[in-house]
Amino acid sequence: MNNKTIIIIVIILLAGGYFWFSDKNEKSETPKLEEKSPYEINKETIVKSYVEKYRVNTEVKIDNLIYSYQLEDALVKSNEPIIFTGSLDDVFRKNGKLYAKYSPNFFDFAEQQIFYTLDGCDEQLMQISSKPEDRWGEYIVVGKISNISKPSIQINASPINNEEAEIELSESETFLATGTCLDVTYLEGEDLK
């Protein structure tokens, strides 16, 4: 065999090998369906059971509602329970009733910011408050909202150093909702994706 033939054979083998291996790499890079974590599966299961049990209004889209009357129409006047997730800020008594304050989760900053104060669910709240390690978790709450309001001003502080902070007053972008808790569940585990 002469040198030209050997070079042609080597080129053909290299090209064939390239196409063979590049084709396999493309096949292995096909997107797989994202598997859900046990946390996500648990959350979906709880939400589904609450929706069925309480006939929760799942049609409410609050992201584009910017005025109190719009939220009132969606959450109060519909007279249907709602479901939300949040962080438990406080459990307190007022006039002999037990209340819980819920704030939006840290990762929900893109959604409408509604802070809920609900009475009821005393047994669950007593159980939750007896476990301090559950304080910072995520809660799934079903409630019936009776009032919506929006504070006039919002105070934000940005630390300048260890002793000073810059305080800024602005028009509030958050809403306050009050009502009655129908059910609450602490979500076990973490999901910090």
* Structure confidence by residue, pLDDT tens digits, 142-155: 999 999 999 888 88
Q: What is the mean pLDDT of the chain?
A: 82
Rounded CA gap, 48 and 141, in Å?
12
Rounded CA gap, 186 and 15, in Å?
59
Structural domain count of the chain: 1
CB 88 within 8 A of CB 117: no
Chain centroid to CA 186: how far?
A: 13
Task: Please state which of the ranges 66-75, 107-116, 169-178 shows the lowest mean pLDDT.
Answer: 107-116
92 within some domain: yes
6 within some domain: no
The CB density around residue 177, as the number of other CB atoms within 10 Å, is 22
192 within some domain: no
pLDDT of 193 strictly over 50 = no
What is residue 139's predicted lDDT score, i.e. its pLDDT? 92
**Span 62-92, pLDDT tens digits:** 777 888 899 899 889 888 999 999 989 999 9
Range of the domain at 170: 36-186
For 181, list phi and psi in degrees, rounded to 5: -80, 130
